[in-house]
Amino acid sequence: MISILILTKNEEQDLPDCLRSVSWCDDIHVFDSISTDRTIEIAEQFGVTVTLRKFDSYASQRNAALVDLNYKYSWLLILDADERVPSDLYKAMLQRIQTVPEQINGFRIRRRDYLGHTWLKHSQITPFYIRLIRVGKAYYHREINEVLEVDGIVENMDGYFEHYPFSKGYTHWLNKHNTYSTMEAKRWIDEHKGAIDFSLKKALFSKDFSEKRYHQKGLFYKIPGRPLIKWLYMVFWKKSFLDGKAGLTNATLQAIYEYFIVIKTRELLSNNLSGEAEQKLVPSSTAPV
């Protein structure tokens, strides 16, 4: 009734538990970005379908997986290797799709993030993610923190899936978010060059969850002191201190990530201004001699 898509790149540590959590499915696809560890071997040992594609960008990689693979069922659950599907969610999905109207082509599912064995109950800024879709009715856009657009109505699903973002340790998390922050800074520069008009009304009241988050982030990036604001928001407004040491650690790491974006944006802006100044000093080839 439901096919599974798992996107991987060097996921030998997390993939086995992810695959075990969806052992109820007889149509599991691992879409791999040419891993150099045992990811492909492990996937083959589990008897799932493995497809290799050289990574070019996050959005295009995911879109290729949506378009190029032959899925057995009309509904597709999209996972990362560090995520797990509890049995209660499987039962809820199976029951829901059997009676779903044709105009509904996607479902948002709550995600529970964990640091070690601690559920970051009060530390999650965005708990809902579109993960269950009708095949052929969705596509990704944006290079970083990709947004999944669904052609049709999207509703919320009962239940939740589990996410272990720190499963490979803090060094791996920081290295990954170092890359993400560079991409976010470049995206910020590109969006402001294009004079995108972020809407406060949409940020507060849009009924489309993805659109709402997009405008919230765009407006948030214009606020000075973002790293401190984010830390205070998570610790005191979201009450992540109730998650104990894990909650405070997560809030601090998220603030560090925000600071990475801030300083890299400044660096890019400085480099752009320096480049423009140098261009003004170069005589034009059409200037009179």
For the record, the structure tokens of 156 come out as 């919320």
Query: How large is the average pLDDT for residues 164-175?
Result: 97
CB 118 within 8 A of CB 244: yes
- Of all residues in the chain, the percent with pLDDT exceeding 90 is 72
**One domain, residues 48 and 106:** yes
**One domain, residues 270 and 130:** no
**One domain, residues 74 and 28:** yes
Residue with the two structure tokens 């009450």: 239
Q: Between 225 and 6, where is the model more confident?
A: 6
**One domain, residues 99 and 221:** no
- Residues 38-93 have pLDDT tens digits of 999 999 999 999 999 999 989 999 999 999 999 999 999 999 999 999 999 999 99
Q: What residues contact 136, with CB distance under 8 A and at least 6 apart? A: 66
In order of 21, 92, 94, 160, the CA distances from 87 in angstroms are 8, 9, 11, 10
In order of 198, 215, 226, the CA distances from 220 in angstroms are 10, 8, 7
Q: Convert 5-60 into a string of H (helix), E (strand) and C (coil).
A: EEEECCCCCCHHHHHHHCCCCCCEEEEECCCCCCHHHHHHHCCCEEEECCCCCHHH
What three-state secondary structure class fits 256? helix
Question: Of 146, 163, 180, which marks where a domain is finished?
Answer: 163
CB 69 within 8 A of CB 51: yes
Dist CA 20 CA 86 (whole Å): 10
Q: What is the CATH number of the domain that holds 26?
A: 3.90.550.10
pTM summary value:
0.85
**One domain, residues 177 and 157:** no
**One domain, residues 101 and 142:** yes
CB 255 within 8 A of CB 232: no
- Residues 213-257 have pLDDT tens digits of 666 666 666 677 889 999 999 999 999 999 999 999 999 999 999
**One domain, residues 86 and 182:** no
